[in-house]
Amino acid sequence: MLDIIRASFGGEIIHLLSGGRLLQYPDQQPGFIVPSTFGVQVADDVVQLSTLSRNGPEAALKLAEDKLDFERDYSSSSSAASTLAPSYIVDWYGPDDPENPRNWSDRKKLFILAEICILTFSVYIGSAMYTPGVEQIMEEFHVGSVVALLPLAVYVAAYGIGPMIFAPLSEAPLIGRNWVYIPSLLLFAVLQIPTALVKNIGGFIAVRAITGFVSSPPLANGGASIGDVLSMNNLSYGLALWSVSAVLGPVMGPFLGSVFAQIKGWRWTFWCLSWISGLAFVVLLFFLPETSEATILQRRARRLRKLTGDIRYTTKAEQEYANLTVREVAYESFIRPFIITFTEPGVFFLNSYTALIYAVMYSWFEAFPLVFVGIHRFNLIQTGLSYFGIMIGATVAAIAFCSAMYFYLAPRLQRGAPPETIFRIALFAAPILPVSLLLFGWSSTASVHWIVPIIASGLFLLGGYTVFQVVFNYLGMSYPRFLASVFAGNDLFRSCFAAAFPLFAKAMFVNLGEERFPVAWGSTLLAGIALLMVLIPVVLLVLGHRLRSGSKYAN
């Protein structure tokens, strides 16, 4: 447990403030000898050290200096080479280095996975938590339903924009994952106070936009944190479990919000959210260790510089980031995601597919009250409970997807099957979407038991969750070099769709509906679009390899 606390955000702060006297690492304790596994780098070459002591690698340094002398005499770029000092490239102390996240025990990895799920849940729950109190907000601020839903729209849009900034920040060796996660989570918890006390709709919208932005680090970096600790063979299972927590947030939000809105009023939903996120902050502050390899090694290099008094200890990641220009960082963060999204046909259509699924989920925050309050006369708490069908559908889908990966897909991929093989799973899941939408729409009537539309919503998540996992795994296998850009583009694309849909969903259902079937024709329209989307995995299963072969970004 001490190693977890030491590597946490709170542990790092204590370590720094104490000047390294508290929560010491092994290389700060008396008698530590620097291992002989580092390398001396001159320009773009690395010379492996054979001996390395606490006083410095003299033999290897002499070899590096001789190399510099040779380059100074004979290279055409001698003036540049002569100014380069050799650097000691800090790496792991061996294949079993206990600080390497890939070497951590399975119990520790599961503990970290659970913490990332808690972090994700604690901010995702905030997106729609206040929606059961929309009627109260309309009455208090004297606004219509569209304006009352703008705080939801700007929140979702903002956490789609956030990954464009937070994802590259977390990759920087000096920052890492925790310096993005923990301060933003604290700010998220604190911002719930002015949200609960806001006096006008303009301020409500503004503070929700800021809150949505600072809630985005789990969306931006949660998958990366899981990838830091899990091997490629197990990554799909970890991401599948993490995705369940991302679904549980928007599901539990309306339920808890309905309880507080009915008993205490809509403002108490944000007091509840501050308690949830505040508790998550306290737990993660001291028990979520840093997982970024680049950051762990950067801190090791910093300690070795202090230990030996030699400033030449560095890491490959530090050198790479030192050579990046602001223009290059801006291009990778803001420009490349758009280029890949709109120039790669496979990426564009898959992003459109996930955007539709995400948008339908958020449109249900308008459809459910029409069905369960308007038809079945549920109160707020009962309406909140109706979202649990979505949770059950996502849980069943996670189990089914992991089983399909383990027994069907993983063995084929290990034998060299192309990434498009994963779309065979989508062929079973995709047709569930239009069927479930039709069932939801046409069963939402007084003559049909209320459990039927709830079952339909669960079926939608059974198919939708599976399609999500297929898309993310395919993009990860097809675009490994540009994964951050691909996922950032996907986040922004679907978040913008999800932000817009609730604003017109009620009007769509009401204007297309009829008295006996208020959401039938609106659901039928969405089902028709979902039916067309079924063609996407079919086409990519057949033609995906051709699209990849003609791409300059894909594998």
pLDDT band at 52 (very low <50, low <70, confident <90, very high): very low
Q: Tell me 420's DSSP state.
A: G
Q: How crowded is the C-beta side of 72, counted as CA atoms within 13 Å?
A: 11
Distance CA 358, CA 31 (A): 56
Q: Are 273 and 401 in contact (CB under 8 A)?
A: no
Among positive and negative, which fits the CA dihedral 520, 525, 531, 536? Answer: negative
Distance CA 81, CA 101 (A): 36
Residue 116's pLDDT is 95
Residue 248's pLDDT is 87
Residue 39's pLDDT is 55
CATH number at residue 457: 1.20.1250.20
Report CA-CA distances (Å) from 455 to 388, 460, 461, 478, 525: 10, 9, 10, 35, 20
pLDDT in tens, 12-47: 999 899 988 888 888 888 877 777 656 555 444 444
Residue 97's pLDDT is 87
Report CA-CA distances (Å) from 499 to 119, 150, 356, 458: 22, 9, 12, 22
Rounded mean pLDDT of 327-334?
79
Rounded mean pLDDT of 107-117?
95
Distance CA 483, CA 479 (A): 6
Enter the tokens of residue 258.
């309905």
Enter the tokens of residue 77.
């770029």
**272 domain residue, yes or no:** no
Say how many domains are in the chain.
1
Question: What element of type H or E holds 25?
Answer: none
Give residues with Cβ within 8 angstroms of 475, minimum separation 6.
347, 350, 483, 486, 487, 490
pLDDT for 286 beyond 50: yes
Q: Which of 179, 189, 279, 276 is nearest to 225 (CA)?
A: 179
Residue 400's pLDDT is 94
Give all strands of the β-sheet with 313-314 in edge-to-edge order: 45-48, 39-42, 87-89, 313-314
pLDDT for 525 beyond 80: yes
Distance CA 332, CA 348 (A): 18
Q: Which single residue is written with the structure tokens 């119990």?
A: 107
Residue 173's pLDDT is 87
> What 3-state DSSP class applies to 45?
strand
**184 domain residue, yes or no:** no
- CA 357 to the chain's CA centroid: 17
Rounded mean pLDDT of 180-200?
95
Residue 74's pLDDT is 37
Burial profile 370-405: b = 16 or more Cβ within 10 angstroms, e = fewer: bbbbebbebebbebbbbbebbbbbbbbbbebbbebb
Q: Which of 190, 115, 126, 123 is nearest to 152 (CA)?
A: 126
Percent of the chain with pLDDT over 90: 52
pLDDT in tens, 244-280: 898 888 888 999 999 999 999 999 999 999 999 999 9
Enter the tokens of residue 466.
């599976």
**398 domain residue, yes or no:** yes
pLDDT for 66 beyond 70: no
pLDDT for 104 beyond 90: yes
pLDDT in tens, 435-469: 999 999 999 999 999 999 999 999 999 999 999 99
**118 domain residue, yes or no:** no
Q: Tell me 8's DSSP state.
A: B
pLDDT for 520 beyond 60: yes
Q: Which of 368, 505, 376, 521 is nearest to 445 (CA)?
A: 376
Enter the tokens of residue 111.
């503990």
Enter the tokens of residue 379.
């109160």
Residue 271's pLDDT is 95
Report CA-CA distances (Å) from 203 to 206, 209, 218: 5, 10, 25
Q: Which of 33-42, 153-162, 164-173, 530-539 has the weakest average pLDDT?
A: 33-42
Q: Are 390 and 254 in contact (CB under 8 A)?
A: no
Give 135-139 contacts, CB < 8 A, sequence gap 24+.
Answer: 136/261, 136/265, 136/266, 137/201, 137/204, 137/266
Residue 53's pLDDT is 35
CA dihedral angle for residue 200, residue 202, residue 204, residue 209, rounded to 10 degrees: -170
* Domain housing 389: 329-550
Q: Are 323 and 478 in contact (CB under 8 A)?
A: no
Q: Which of 235, 244, 539, 555 is nearest to 409 (CA)?
A: 235
pLDDT in tens, 465-519: 999 999 988 988 888 877 778 888 888 888 999 999 989 998 999 999 888 899 9
Distance CA 374, CA 193 (A): 33
Q: Tell me 84's DSSP state.
A: P
Enter the tokens of residue 282.
């306290």
Distance CA 201, CA 199 (A): 7
**125 domain residue, yes or no:** no
Mean pLDDT score across all residues of the chain:
86
Tell if the pTM clears 0.75, that is, is over it: yes
Q: Are 173 and 322 in contact (CB under 8 A)?
A: no
Q: What value does the CA radius of gyration of the chain take, rounded to a whole number of Å?
A: 26
pLDDT for 340 beyond 90: no
Distance CA 532, CA 356 (A): 11
Among positive and negative, which fits the CA dihedral 476, 410, 116, 208? Answer: positive
Report CA-CA distances (Å) from 269 to 197, 246, 261, 305: 11, 19, 7, 49
Distance CA 253, CA 257 (A): 6
Helix axes 201-214 and 145-161, enclosed angle (nearest 10) = 20
Q: Which single residue is written with the structure tokens 């006297």?
A: 21
Residue 56's pLDDT is 40
pLDDT for 65 beyond 80: no
Distance CA 367, CA 131 (A): 12
